Chain A
Amino acid sequence: MSFSVDVERQLGDTHIAARFEAEGGITALFGPSGAGKTSVLNMIAGLMRPDRGSIRVDGTLLFDSATGVSLPPEHRRLGYVFQDARLFPHRRVRGNLLYGHHLARPEDRWMSLDHAVEFLGIGHLLDRWPATLSGGEAQRVAIGRALLSGARFLLMDEPLASLDRARREEILRVIEAIRDEMKLPILYVSHDRAEVDRLASSIVLIGE
């Protein structure tokens, strides 16, 4: 899988620009807070429109300002893991996990609920409401929800930032397993050097 990203966007006083090519594995978008790392992910996800540029994933054009191409987020086939898990509060864990799974075309689904539950060790949480989960549990469910939606690649926005040290290690192992066992490419936003060194095979500097 290959990514080719070249985007620019003016956001208030901040000029956000990112230009990089990436292969599989984990590509870290690294830089200081406020540099626009999350905005770059949002542009790739289709949640924010670049002023100019193009985004291509594996030959599929997701966005191109020159030709006016802009796929809506729901057609980009990506999984987005946010810093705050953003689980749907009105659905139980099972309902959250299956939300994107049911929306995906059957031929795009590559993981079953049972597989995801076993992989993430969340079988005992299936009937719980999100409000009753700990930060680490919620983040595992959020990762499961993204995987189950038939995503071809993942976007992760500081997925460890709101967790304590022990939970961080748990989630780090999960992310490594996604990288090594599932071979799913990940664009990973972080401002933590140690985290990036441990996970990433290539690093893109944002806002330098």
Chain B
Amino acid sequence: MDIGGIVLLSLKVSGVAVIGTMPFAFLLAWALARGRFPGKMLLDALVALPLVLPPVVTGWLLLLAFGNNGPVGRLLNDHLGFTFMFRWTGAALAAAIMALPLMVRAMRLSIEAVDRRLESAARTLGASPLRVFWTVTLPLSLPGIFAGAVLGFARSLGEFGATITFVSNIPGETQTLPIAIYSALQMPGSEAAVTRLALISVALSLGALVLSELLARRFHEAKGRAHVL
């Protein structure tokens, strides 16, 4: 069992999942925090859905949509020659969907926490709405955005059900840490491997959480703000 390869694959899948999801998560968080539109409650519920749905159902839905016979999957395959099926990119997509609710939630809270009166003050000082966004709203919500990214990363590292349903268990391609642990558990005499993989999992997740907390603190040391977790 190639433990180094498994860890690297997991980090790659989670990293790509989080970086790819960031812009969408931020737009959704912004719409939910600031927007007023019909169907907002429905959008809110849809974003949160992967959190409460059995992961195997999320995986199956991904299979329906992005599988080679699914509407999106066929389109991608016909026009771009690209497929998620049985590829690490599919594992990243599954991880992204599962991480999305956590990321949106953290970002939304931090956007909602920005004092709108500071934005008004900036307007009277000559800033256009776009400039207010870049110089006031975004910097003030950065800790939450970082916290959301790190939480999403930690969630992605642990993703199992949707991934194994969607892209199966292929060593070197879709066999991430949790799936490797599951596989090892099926084989007699692999307790040592399971222990090692599990310890690495604990270390990575703990590291991610501590990192997000440190980032948030460092950011607001001088500004008298509380931590974000």
Listed in ascending order, the chain A residues whose CB lies under 8 Å from chain B are 45-47, 72-74, 76-80, 82, 84, 86, 88-90, 99-100, 103-104, 129-132, 145-146, 149-150, 155
- Which of B39-47, B122-130, B150-158 lies at the interface? B122-130
**In the bound complex, do residue A90 and residue B124 qualify as a contact, i.e. CB atoms below 8 Å apart?**
no
Rounded to whole angstroms, the CA-CA distance of A129 and B139 in the bound complex is: 15
Specify which chain A residues have a CB less than 8 angstroms from the CB of B136 in the assembled complex. 88
Query: Are A72 and B125 in contact (CB-based, < 8 A)?
Result: no
Q: If A74-B126, A79-B124, A149-B125 touch, does A88 touch B118 (CB 8 Å cutoff)?
A: yes
The answer on a CB contact under 8 Å between B128 and A82 is no
Residue from B117, B123, B125 in contact with A46 in the complex, judged by beta carbons closer than 8 Å: B123
Complex Cα gap A150–B223 (Å): 28
Which of A89, A99, A155 is the one whose CB lies under 8 Å from B125? A99
**Contact at B139–A90, with CB atoms within 8 Å?**
yes
Instruction: Check B222 against A100 for contact (C-beta < 8 Å).
Output: no
A90-B223 contact, Cβ under 8 Å, with A46-B123, A73-B123:
yes
Q: Are A103 and B124 in contact (CB under 8 A)?
A: no
Using Cβ atoms and an 8 Å threshold, which residues of chain A touch B123? 46-47, 72-74
- Chain A min CB distance to B48 (Å): 30
Residues of A within 8 A of B120 (CB): 47, 73
| Interface check B224, CB cutoff 8 A | yes
Q: Is the CB of A47 within 8 A of B124?
A: yes
The secondary-structure label for the interface of chain B is helix
The distance from the CB of A187 to the nearest CB of chain B, in whole angstroms, is 13
Of residues 130 through 145 on chain B, the ones whose CB sits less than 8 Å from some CB of chain A are 131, 135-136, 139-140
- Kindly state the separation between the CA atoms of A30 and B57 in the bound complex, as whole angstroms: 64
Q: Check A99 against B122 for contact (C-beta < 8 Å).
A: yes
> Contacts A86-B118, A88-B136 known; A145 to B125 CB distance under 8 Å?
yes
Set of chain B residues within 8 Å of A73, measured between Cβ atoms: 120, 123-124
Using C-beta atoms within 8 Å of the partner chain, give the interface range for chain B.
20 to 34
Chain A neighbourhood of B19, CB < 8 A: none
Is the CB–CB distance between A82 and B121 below 8 Å? yes
Within 8 A of A (CB), among B78-104: none
Tell me if B126 and A149 are in contact (CB < 8 A).
yes
With A74-B124, A132-B222, A150-B126 known, 6 other A-B pairs at CB within 8 A are A46-B123, A72-B123, A79-B124, A100-B127, A103-B131, A129-B223
> Most chain-B Cβ atoms within 10 A of its Cβ — which of A47, A73, A84, A100?
A73
Q: Which residues of B contact A79 (CB under 8 A)?
A: 124-125
Identify which of B115, B127, B224 contacts A131 (C-beta below 8 A): B224
Chain B nearest Cβ from A194, distance in angstroms: 28
Bound Cα distance from A57 to B144, whole angstroms: 42
A145-B222 Cα distance, complex, nearest whole Å: 21
B217 to chain A, nearest CB (A): 15
Smallest CB separation, A66 vs chain B (Å): 24
Complex-state Cα separation, A74 to B140, whole angstroms:
21
Whether A90 contacts B131 by the Cβ 8 Å rule is: no
By a CB distance below 8 angstroms, the chain B residues around A77 are: 126
From residue B16, how far is it (CB to closest CB) to chain A in Å?
Answer: 30
Closest B residue by C-beta to A42: B120
Q: Is the CB of B118 within 8 A of A103?
A: no
CB-nearest residue of chain A to B222: A129
A136 to nearest B CB, angstroms?
Answer: 18
The 15 sampled A-B contact pairs (Cβ below 8 Å) are A47-B120, A72-B123, A74-B123, A74-B125, A74-B126, A79-B124, A79-B125, A89-B118, A89-B140, A90-B140, A100-B126, A103-B125, A129-B222, A146-B124, A155-B124
The answer on a CB contact under 8 Å between A82 and B117 is: yes
Whole-angstrom distance between the alpha carbons of A130 and B136 in the complex?
Answer: 15
Interface centre among B121, B135, B136, B140 (most CB of A within 10 A): B121
